[in-house]
Chains A and B, each alone.
Chain A
Amino acid sequence: MTNKYFIILGLAILIIIGGAIYRKYILPESSLPVQTGKTINVAVVAERDEWRFTPEEIIAERGDKIIMKVVNEDDYDHGIAIDAFGVSQRMPANSTITLEFVVTQEGEFPYYCSVPCGEGEVDGAKRTHFDMIGKIKVKPAL
């Protein structure tokens, strides 16, 4: 029995050492995680019957931690997904959710409604679920 615990312990050590070697020597510099230590608090609102996220653009630096409070003002569900940072969460009707993630890559990345939420007319123009798109612009860390 003791032998088996040693094997499990050995495996765990092997995996940890392997991970450390990968991160230290194999992972390309551009993929290394960067942490600026800076936190950006941002509120994103799915405005009532507007099929729009406000704001539609968020600017951050690579390595910033973003705490995103997302408000759903509608009487129906929405969702928010940011594929690049592994974010995808449902927002029940009239609810507020909070997301936390670190923007690890430079570039421009979309965030969009991940729950089909219908369509309607806003100021004479048709808007739909597919118009609920915003952009996170990640600049190089200074």
Chain B
Amino acid sequence: MEEQYPKQALDKFRQWHFWWLVVFSVLLIVTFVYYLPARFLNQLSVNHHMMEDMHDEEIDEHADEHMDEFSEEEMMKDNHGDSENHGEYVYHEEGDVKNGPVVNLKAYPEPFNTSEMLWLDFAVNTKPESTPVSYQDLQITSEKLMHVIGVRSDMNEFFHVHPRINGDVFTIGTQLKKPGRYKIWSEIKKDDVIHVFGHPQINITGSGATEEKEVSFGRNVILGPYQISLDHNEPIAVGENELFFSIKTLTGGGVELGSYLGEPMHLTIIKDDLKNLIHTHPSSHEADHSFYLINQAKAHGEIEDGHEVPQEVLEFTVNFPEPGLYKAFAQFLPAEFENEDGEPEPFLAEFWLEVKGGEEAAVTKTQDPWWALLVVSVVLIVILGLIVKKYITVK
């Protein structure tokens, strides 16, 4: 070669060749070391930063009138917290409590049926003497002193309401429009501990089916103009698990979430034997501000101009106490409904979850450890690189 071309030209060529290799290497490094892994992690929704000062919103104007008696500081303390700051969480069945705080439920008028209003009185007291507990001794969680959650035995009917203070008790009237057996729970916070009390089941009579249980493990549901998807590691095992919810428009666009009871989403998870309830809020909340090398061309023919609402991903850390079937009820309020007159009704997305026990989960989990996939990928990339290098080497 040096005989055909002058040395100067060859030097120039080598210089160009060198810089070409540098640029090409940089491109490969950016693509394979940064861009593709970043996109991959983003799609898996596992790389969320912790939420920072998410909830600066004011207390809802429809909050219980007695809320005025609580200091603003206390309200803000609750509203600024993530799930870890909501306090210790203890589950009880009403009849099992022999000591400490308990909530007793009285439902009336009997017999209960679908055509009449069902009134529920919740009396907070301390066992064993049944000493009444004043509402002033309770703390606010998610803007309310008491949350009441109920489901029908087939988990098809769900309600989440907030009784008002009525003398010594908390009272609410509700009309259950479908017959069947209903389980009701109340949740209060006292001395920085969140207590959830399961109350005896109530049988509501009326026309129509009392049980229509249908289990489906769909991970995408449509509610009006929104689609809600749930993502989680497989399998869900007893213990701590992360659940990721994302809310999009039907054409895949982002949805700005408003505040529903001080949180972007309330998640209630109930075991199908009605013996356990978990009520939690996002541990992290992040908009998908992915780094895109090119503009995103959307299937509906539009190109993102940078002004669209980013997709929100809400992360929950949930501790499942035992294996079995659970149903998750996710309540949220898009920002466009936040300022509606009256108390806006939240959207409710429902998902069935199967939680596997220790050994069963461990066997399945060993099939999909992320680090194993990473190691295998790196080894395969190195082998492929060596083979390609050998293939293109000029002898």
Contacts and interface: CB of A to CB of B under 8 A. Distances in A.
B300 A106 contact: no
Contact of A139 (B216, B251, B300, B302): B216
A55 interface: no
SS class, residues of chain B in contact with chain A = loop
A30 B217 contact: yes
Contacts of A129: 300
B368 A26 contact: yes
A78 B55 CA distance: 42
Contacts of B299: 79, 81, 83, 88, 112, 114
Interface in B197-252: 215-222, 227, 229, 234-235, 250-252
A135 interface: yes
- Size category of the binding interface on chain A: 35 or more
- Size category of the binding interface on chain B: 20 to 34
A6 B300 CA distance: 46
B368 A140 contact: no
A125 interface: no
Contact of A105 (B218, B234, B251, B302): B218
A30 B353 CA distance: 12
Interface string A91-132: 000000000000001111110111110000000000001100
Contacts of A108: 218, 220-222, 227
Contacts of B373: 26
B250 to A, nearest CB: 4
Given A26-B367, A110-B250, A7 B221 contact: no
B218 A25 contact: no
B387 interface: yes
A114 B377 CA distance: 36
Given A7-B390, A29-B234, A30-B234, A106 B217 contact: yes
Contact of B218 (A106, A130, A133, A135): A106
Contacts of A106: 216-219
B219 A135 contact: no
B104 to A, nearest CB: 40
A27 B48 CA distance: 24
Contacts of B390: 7
Contact of B220 (A4, A10, A105): A105
B291 interface: no
Nearest to B220: A107
B367 A116 contact: no
A84 B227 CA distance: 12
Contacts of B220: 84, 105, 107-109
B381 to A, nearest CB: 12
A46 interface: no
Contacts of A14: 380
Nearest to A107: B218
Nearest to A83: B252
Contact of A116 (B215, B302, B387): B302
B233 to A, nearest CB: 9
Interface in B358-378: 364, 367-368, 373
8 contacts: A14-B380, A29-B364, A83-B252, A106-B218, A107-B220, A108-B220, A108-B221, A108-B227
**Pairs A-B, 5 closest by C-beta atoms:** A107-B218, A28-B234, A107-B220, A106-B218, A81-B299
Given A79-B301, A106-B217, A110-B250, 6 more contacts: A26-B368, A105-B220, A108-B222, A112-B299, A116-B301, A133-B250
